[in-house]
A and B are shown apart, each in its own frame.
Chain A
């Protein structure tokens, strides 16, 4: 598995694609704007999410509505959900406006999923606190477990490989030891203590 300098440089060259990363990152940074709760909020990030009422009966309880707001990302530039942001920072102009939209949709009889879909239609997928479990996003959810599974497989394979020499060694006749049973017992006890 050891490689020389030339092999290493060859492989390194293959990963030069990484060089494109800074440009991508810079582009993202440019569009990201504020990006933190400790900088002024951007009121312009709010966009109305409104639909005609389906019914005059609210679709859910206040607790269920609060739970729904925990799933919607406040778009002011912070990393909080709408419920947490609106009840935490009264300088944020975006989360109260998003909250009003949620309340109007709940009052209009829309279900949680319909409200989520309406927000996604307006803001895009980034309005969700976690990505939808579909398409490329599945890579996001599955990769840690796939990596862990692969790592677990590797660990088990290594343990089995390392175990073989020890098992082979066990079949070799032990050399005669010039020691009394008491001395051997003492040695065994010392080894056990060392193993603790």
Chain B
């Protein structure tokens, strides 16, 4: 048992968790009154899930050896389309709960279409994921802007707002959703046969193909699943902002990549743990909230985040090189 504990601490995730504790205590020491305030903890608990879900969505695609640059625009396009339906039903005096259900179903349906598009182009046509999803990003953004004409969709029923701001037994609903999604993606990626195929495809798609794995189909399905996760993050964002707009969450795009990589996911695919990504998300959230509290301006926060990412990437690269 003792060796098990030791293994846990020296594992990548263990080290990450220690970094998290360190950052958390550092922020608490530097600004005890405000960082540890109920208000700040609460606000982190509401922000963390949407970022975390996007990061997990990004991560499963990265493990296949791909990337999804259209991630946040998938989320906003689906929240705009679903949000319009929801707002219209609500404005016509329809039942609030029904409107919310219809809205969410449409959001997930719209995101699925986005996922089918990306998955088809990447897996079956064979376009490089970065280019395919870069194109899709502009496409989804363009469609969104055409719908909203640059404005925001609003007028959601009150029930919808509960998703982003309500609590169950004192726990914010977004947090509960996030925890369910963590467990779900863990089962999917680290325990299911499809997840195991995804890791092998990410390492070497040729070997997977030569072993009878249906590589194209699995890559296609992964993009689809990732898009549905994006839609869920979209629901949380739309609910929290009480509106839908194409630019919501766009800063999360590269942060999601950053969190995956910081969490130990190999950017070229094949390796990565859900736990690592989740802890990395917590670290990034604590740093950004902490810096915000110190009154550091937003641009300097970007400098700090970018710096952290480059340092981590360099360390990963050097340790990998040395182990070879």
The judgment on whether A and B are partners is no
Binding site for A on B (CB under 8 A): none
Binding site for B on A (CB under 8 A): none
